[in-house]
Structure 1
Amino acid sequence: MTFLELLKPQAVKVVAAASSKKRLMHDIAELAESAHGLPAAAVVEALMERESLGPTGVGHGVALPHARISGIDEVRGVFILLEKPVEFESVDRQPVDVVLALFAPEDAGVEHLKALALVSRTLRDAALCNKLRANPDPATLHTILTADRSSQAA
């Protein structure tokens, strides 16, 4: 599993600001719908249901929301860079500005876990996150994510 497999260029977006965590979930869902054809309403519902189990803000301004979605056959991702961080109930209580959401088939087992591990390991790299934050262009963000990690299998 690589970032090239997870993340299409059109699945990367810069958002000026999200007024709330819930608004951010809607932004994620709209991007998932336009990039991957996923139904936005189902995506929001699945993400919010997952968040009710515990927040997916992992700290240092990074969130990794994820959910299982019926009707898809492989793990897909969307990436959002927020120009203005939003409160996300993260483990370190810091607002979030780097968001990579993953969507997996309902019956995905190990592939979903491999994708989560890859994304988590990658976005734990403070230098990479700083590079992402310094490049508010979707094409550049996609290049950074895929070029820096495309050779690392989970």
Structure 2
Amino acid sequence: MNLSSILKPDAVKVISEASSKKRLFQRLAEAAEASYGLDGDAALEALLDRESLGPTGVGSGIALPHARVTDAKAVRGVFFRLERPLEFGAVDRQPVDLVFALFAPESSGVDHLKALALISRTMRDAAVCEKLRANDNPATLHTVLTEGRPSQAA
């Protein structure tokens, strides 16, 4: 598994502003609907339900919201770079500017966990985050995220 199999180029966006976490989740769900044909309302509801269990802001300005969605056929991702960081309730209480959302089939089992681990490893790489924060072009962001990071056993 690699990020290029999870993340389509058109699912990478630079967002000028998100007024709230809920609005951010709405935009993520809309992007998942546009890029992968997922039911946007169901994707939003699944993200909100998962977030109610605990915040997915992992620190250092990074959030990894994820949810299982009934109509997902495979594990899929949406990446947003926020031009203005958003208060997210992250573990380190820092606002978030890099958001990688993951949508998985309800029956995905280990694939969902492997994808989440791969995304987490990628986003923990300081050099990757520096490049993501330094670029405004979605195509460049997609390249930074997907360049040669094969999965490792979780």
TM interval, shorter chain, is: over 0.9
Report the identity percentage. 64
Tell me, in whole angstroms, the C-alpha distance in 1 between the residues paired with 2:148 and 2:142: 10
Tell me, in whole angstroms, the C-alpha distance in 1 between the residues paired with 2:71 and 2:55: 25
Tell me, in whole angstroms, the C-alpha distance in 2 between the residues paired with 1:82 and 1:68: 24
Tell me, in whole angstroms, the C-alpha distance in 1 between the residues paired with 2:15 and 2:148: 23
Letter in 2 for 1:58: V
- Runs of 4+ aligned structure 1 residues displaced above 2 Å come to 151-154
Tell me, in whole angstroms, the C-alpha distance in 1 between the residues paired with 2:152 and 2:125: 16
1:80 corresponds to which residue?
80
Q: Is 1:57 matched with 2:85?
A: no
1:26 corresponds to which residue?
26
Tell me, in whole angstroms, the C-alpha distance in 1 between the residues paired with 2:146 and 2:83: 21
Structure 2: runs of 5 or more not aligned:
none
Letter in 2 for 1:80: F
Tell me, in whole angstroms, the C-alpha distance in 2 between the residues paired with 1:82 and 1:27: 12
Q: What are the residue-to-residue correspondences of 1:53-132 with 2, within 5 Å?
A: 53-132=53-132
Q: Count residues with an aligned counterpart.
A: 153
Letter in 2 for 1:19: S
Structure 1: runs of 5 or more not aligned:
none
> Please, what TM-score do these two structures have when normalized by structure 1?
0.96
Tell me, in whole angstroms, the C-alpha distance in 2 between the residues paired with 1:121 and 1:45: 26
Tell me, in whole angstroms, the C-alpha distance in 2 between the residues paired with 1:148 and 1:88: 30
